[in-house]
Amino acid sequence: MDCKITSNDVVVSSWPQLVDEVYRDAWKPQLERFRSDYAFRGLSDCRYQLQNSFLRNCGTRPELEYHLLRNFIKYARTSEPNLTNTQLRALVLAQHHGLPTRLLDWTYSPFIAMHFATSNTDKFDIDGVIWQVDFVQVNKLVTEPLKALLSSEKCNAFTVEMLESKFSTLHKFDKTIGPSSVLFFEPPSIDDRIVNQFALFSIISDATSVLDHWLVKHPEVYRRIIIPAELKWEIRDKLDQANITERVLFPGLDGLANWLKRHYQPKNI
């Protein structure tokens, strides 16, 4: 085992167990339907922290966030001008195109999380992980006026439009929700990649914070599924058969090439 196991972790030993675990607690008796409250994030290495790209790129220099975003808005050329109307909307667009931001990518789909945990064959000798966070419970922990907004809209996840109705700048966002606060929101459907990945984002009120540190203070809202290295090839092959591949999740020639590259890679190379 490559990573430290805690009481919030479960180590799976088979494909059926993995499928059962990602759908744990999804049954809602009042609806008589399966409706999971979890957001999922798959990582190829179970030792990786939930660090956002801004922290990895800029370290503990939060003042650089403003300059990154200011210049992105200034130089961005897009056929959809309203995508940079507010800092929050610009942040989503910037994250989508690889700019270091405080956002973390999540998905509603456990199978897409499995994909990201098993897409890098260079990491097939290392245990992977799927983080599951109860975004419904996390969003209930927000302060006013956001708590009232979520209640009035009768929904579980925020949208960009909802957040923009309360603040247009990240400074106001940070001031409103307080230090080290977290929420989950859905991005606008910028393109097919956002749609196909069934995406949502987490955002924290401090660009240099590590989400792990917040989660360990709220153990009731998360769990981790550890995927042993020896199980990765089986999971990968079954996901490919189910068409959960780069070809679908990254529409275009780059995604197609990455899928073919991995699909035809011999197992023992």
pLDDT of residue 37: 97
pLDDT of residue 79: 63
- What is the identity of the amino acid at 250? F
Q: What is the pLDDT of residue 1?
A: 57
Residue in this structure with the two tokens 């230090």, named with its chain if needed: 179
Write down the pLDDT at residue 83.
Answer: 63
User: What does each of the 269 residues of the chain score in pLDDT, given as a tens digit?
Assistant: 568 899 999 999 999 999 999 999 999 999 999 999 999 999 999 999 999 999 999 999 999 999 999 999 888 876 665 666 788 888 999 999 999 999 999 999 999 999 999 999 999 999 999 999 999 999 999 988 888 888 888 899 999 999 988 887 888 888 888 888 999 999 999 889 999 999 999 999 989 999 999 999 999 999 999 999 999 999 999 999 999 999 999 999 999 999 999 999 998 76
Residue 110 pLDDT: 98
pLDDT at 95: 94
Query: Of 214, 211, 219, whose CA–CA distance to 6 is shortest?
Result: 219
Residue 4 is predicted with a pLDDT of 86
Phi first, then psi: give them for residue 35, nearest 5 degrees. Answer: -140, 95
Question: How confident is the model at residue 168, as a pLDDT?
Answer: 79
Each domain of the chain, given as residue ranges in start order, spans: 9-263
Q: How far is residue 85's CA from residue 204's CA, in Å, rounded to a whole number? A: 21
Which residues, in sequence order, are bridge partners of residue 202?
Answer: 104, 184
